[in-house]
Homo-oligomer: A and B are copies of this chain.
Amino acid sequence: MSSPGEFELIARLTAGLEARPDVALGAGDDAALLRLGSEWLLAATVDAQVEGIHFVRGVATPKDIGHKALAVNLSDLAAMGAEPLWALVSLLLPADVSAAYLERVYGGMRALARDYGVAIVGGNIAATSGPLTLDVTALGRVERGVAVTRAGGRVGDMLLAVGTLGAAASGLLALVGDSDPAKQAQLAPDMLDNVRTALVAPTPLVATGRALALTGGIGAMLDVSDGLAADLAHLCAASGTGAVLDVAHIPVARAAAAVARAYGRDPLALALYGGEDYALLCAVRPAGLAAALEAARAGGDEAQVIGELTAPAEGLRLRQPDGRLEPLEPRGWDHLRTLGC
């Protein structure tokens, strides 16, 4: 079903999109047709970016908005060890968004798609009286023996964080929550740039997620979208384990530490409870740790052992630098509260 002008607009937005040899039929028909070999699993995910909840026009450029709408989905595929192949883009369009603006949004999405070899093979545009929303479905493939879920962790697995934490929450704090120029002035410009990029245009760790899965030593994996504490709780709930995190080893992003100083916040809290970092959290078999570290570092990503999985009865705990164990509250990222909506 279509709103008037949709066909022209889709034609305009999809002209010259990247093709792949396995796209038998892309945008422009009732459905896209895609070839898939028999030894593969199809990995499918959908995630929406809603103006005022997930992004704010003015803080995020149109290009950022498009980039992020696809990036968060590629991050989900990365966390399965999947190779991203195709995406479908569903747009909910308020009357005040111009076609030119939308083309810039698509530009950001298309640039990221090109970088990752993803073909945008279809979509939909519907009018809405509400906020601009991009709802992206991403499809990928992964060999049956390679796919990694969040449910395969075992007691004794090492917890590996790939990427750094807290930068996106710092960006939200410094650019949306409290954009006080006096506080911003305490930050080096590159630090502000870093947290801005982390917030509005995150990099999905696609190659690293796949390389990690291919080592065969990863028991469970997910992307840290809701915050380390909350996502660790998801992994433990699915795997039937508890966990201990070592405070001293949590990889707080340098820029997050800088923002925390300028704003008088606890950097560890930003790393533990801030979300949208799109780092990967893995439960690694001890025998597979060396290969996992090598896979992550070969991809240019920081990798750090931050704890281990424990018996479920022990729950989630934080190990302080002095060895003391404290309960870890599995709360996460609260868009609505953070943005004051």
In the complex, residue of chain B having the shortest beta-carbon distance to the beta carbon of A43? B31
Query: Which B residues touch A45, using CB under 8 A?
Result: 30-32, 88, 122
Query: Which B residues touch A30, using CB under 8 A?
Result: 45, 76-77, 79-80, 150, 222-223
Assembled-state Cα–Cα distance A334/B49 (Å): 26
- With contacts A1-B72, A1-B275, A92-B92 known, is A43 near B47, CB below 8 A? no
B43 touches A33 (CB 8 A): yes
A335 touches B127 (CB 8 A): yes
Tell me the smallest distance from the CB of A33 to a CB of chain B, in Å: 4
Q: Which of B3, B50, B149 contacts A336 (CB 8 A)?
A: B3
Assembled-state Cα–Cα distance A333/B332 (Å): 44
B275 touches A44 (CB 8 A): no
Query: Which B residues touch A223, using CB under 8 A?
Result: 30
Query: Which B residues touch A37, using CB under 8 A?
Result: 38
- With contacts A47-B124, A53-B3, A336-B4 known, is A31 near B82, CB below 8 A? yes
Chain B CB within 10 A, most for which of A130, A139, A333, A337 = A130
B129 touches A130 (CB 8 A): yes
Within 8 A of B (CB), among A32-89: 32-38, 40-50, 52-54, 72, 76-77, 79-80, 82, 86, 88-89
> Looking at the complex, which of A21-29, A190-198, A313-321 is the stretch in contact with chain B?
A21-29
- With contacts A32-B45, A44-B86, A149-B25 known, is A1 near B54, CB below 8 A? yes
A42 touches B34 (CB 8 A): yes
> Looking at the complex, which of A140-148, A241-249, A260-268 is the stretch in contact with chain B?
A140-148
Assembled-state Cα–Cα distance A308/B296 (Å): 60
**A270 is an interface residue with CB less than 8 A from chain B:** no
A47 touches B1 (CB 8 A): yes
Query: Which B residues touch A79, using CB under 8 A?
Result: 30-31
The count of residues in chain A whose C-beta lies closer than 8 Å to any C-beta of chain B is 81
Within 8 A of B (CB), among A137-165: 137-140, 142, 144, 147, 149-151
Chain B CB within 10 A, most for which of A48, A140, A222 = A48
Assembled-state Cα–Cα distance A46/B32 (Å): 10
A130 touches B128 (CB 8 A): yes
Within 8 A of B (CB), among A210-242: 222-223, 225-226, 234, 238
Assembled-state Cα–Cα distance A142/B30 (Å): 13
Query: Which B residues touch A82, using CB under 8 A?
Result: 31
In the complex, residue of chain B having the shortest beta-carbon distance to the beta carbon of A223? B30
Tell me the smallest distance from the CB of A327 to a CB of chain B, in Å: 20
Tell me the smallest distance from the CB of A148 to a CB of chain B, in Å: 9
Assembled-state Cα–Cα distance A29/B144 (Å): 16
**A90 is an interface residue with CB less than 8 A from chain B:** yes
Query: Which B residues touch A225, using CB under 8 A?
Result: 1-2
Give 15 CB contacts A-B under 8 Å: A1-B49, A29-B222, A29-B238, A30-B80, A33-B149, A35-B42, A36-B42, A44-B88, A46-B90, A47-B126, A48-B90, A50-B128, A53-B128, A90-B90, A130-B131
> Nearest 4 pairs between A and B by C-beta?
A130-B130, A31-B45, A38-B38, A30-B76
